[in-house]
Amino acid sequence: YAAKVADTVATASRFGVDARLEGVRWGDIRDRVFGRIDPISAGGRDYRINGANTRAYLGRARFVGDRRVRVRLHEDAEATQAAGVPAGTREVEVSADQVVIAAGAYAQIPDVVRDAGVPFHTSDTIMRIDEIPEHLVVIGGGFIAAEMAHVFGTFGSQVTIIGRSPRVLSHEDWEIGTRFTRALAEHYDLRVHVTVTAVESTPSGVAAHCSDGSIVEGDTLLVAAGRVPNGDELAVERTGVTLDPYGYVITDDALRTDAPGVWALGDIRNPRQLKHLANREADLVGHNLANPDDLRCIDESAVPHVVFSHPEVAQVGLSEEALQALGRPYLVGRRDYGASAYGWAMEDEVGFAKVLVDPDTRLLLGAHILGHEASLLIQPLAQAMALGNSIDDVARTVIYPHPALSEVVEQVLLEVPGAPEAGGRFKPWGG
């Protein structure tokens, strides 16, 4: 959020507002963030250690048999006290009738970086650094790369992003990804369709050698090459759990694995790796454990996700490429922010919304938004998908306040072929 505030000040002059960004107190920004996050984390840890009817084993666990794990305890008094074992105990074995695997994922480090022995950061550490980098070199072109480029670029860092795909955010709908890549290239040194072939330390930091023959030097290296599920670290196959080809634990919709009495949730089972989805999964597993005769299932068809970059990116449902791969017919509606009253006032030339619709049922199959507050605008579309509302009902039954940016939602739905008469849509340029 602090980056958004700084960017607002820096771009104020175009609207006739004279403001100047005199500096960024990175230490205050960082401490404000972790001054809130760390106590919450510590409180959760304390709850797990001291909660009623619970016993916490603080350490690294690996399965050794059916619903049985061996835990290598941390070498401190707290670990042995929490586990209720004698001081000096290093390993314990724990078994249970029901086991929930919720061990998350870890940052993937390419061999070219790991083998080089150079200092680097991941999403786990980059926000805790002491000073803003002069030149941040980012390996990877996904959401972490996009978000961290926004944060540190806004605060004054020169940013270079090196991505192997032809566009940034390659998992997004092609049109969103293409537009986003174009927008990013206006602000940062963006190298797409390029791989890093070697990394070495330099007197000022690091140098990344690229497949196109170029060399990028910076003082800080961020590896944002994705996150890998911890299934292999836990040796889950020893309890009969199956992993997919990418290492994710396979479950059914009730979040049961193929091993009796073993459940899984969160990033270890779902490549989307979304906190809000993991929260819902945790609720379902809790219910299903307590109510084995009344199992509830997860519905992932209308789960939104957001990239908190600049501009923001939000999506729910399927992309155009996914629908084409399925051979599923669809209709398309597109609308620029600038064709709305609020977008016109913002002088917006980037914002864009796109919807994909079933031609027979008129139900949403997917929605994609690029631009200011996309994280908010995606929600009514996600609700429409989850509740089974037709786009015509969402566009014409709901009344949208003028001149709010939410009119973009109404307008993009009315751009779908066969939509009801638009009425008084705002068309500043006759579009």
Q: What is the pLDDT of residue 423?
A: 47
Domains in the chain, ordered, with CATH?
1-54 (no CATH), 55-96 (no CATH), 108-225 (3.50.50.60), 230-300 (3.50.50.60), 305-414 (3.30.390.30)
Q: Tell me the DSSP string of 90-152.
A: -EEEEE-SSEEE---EEE---HHHHTTT---B-TTTGGG-SS--SEEEEE--SHHHHHHHHHH
Q: What is the pLDDT of residue 77?
A: 77
Residue 429: pLDDT band (50, 70, 90) is very low
Q: Find how far residue 223's CA is from the centre of its chain.
A: 16
3-state secondary structure 132-143: CCCEEEEECCCH
pLDDT by residue (tens digit) across 24-46? 999 999 999 999 999 999 999 89
Structure tokens at 140: 């990877």
Q: What is the pLDDT of residue 315?
A: 99
DSSP count for the chain of H helices, then E strands? 13, 19
Q: 3-state class of 259 per DSSP?
A: coil
Separation between Cα atoms, residue 249 and residue 264, nearest integer Å: 7
Task: Check whether 426 has a pLDDT greater than 70.
Answer: no
- Cross-strand partners of 105: 229
Can you give the pTM of this predicted structure? 0.92
Residue 193 bears catalytic tag: no
Separation between Cα atoms, residue 144 and residue 301, nearest integer Å: 23
Q: Which of 193, 276, 287, 402 is catalytic?
A: 402
pLDDT by residue (tens digit) across 52-78? 888 999 999 999 999 999 999 998 878
- Half-sphere exposure of residue 210: CA atoms within 13 angstroms, side-chain side: 20
* Reduced DSSP (H G I as helix, E B as strand, rest coil) percent helix, strand, coil of the chain, to 5: 35, 25, 45
Residue 168 neighbours by CB distance under 10 Å: 29
**Mean pLDDT, rounded, of the chain:** 94
Angle, alpha carbons 265-271-61 (nearest 5°): 50
Average pLDDT estimate for 371-386:
98
Q: Backbone phi, then psi, for 316, in 5-degree steps?
A: -145, 140
Task: Check whether 427 has a pLDDT greater than 70.
Answer: no
Separation between Cα atoms, residue 233 and residue 398, nearest integer Å: 49
Separation between Cα atoms, residue 156 and residue 6, nearest integer Å: 10
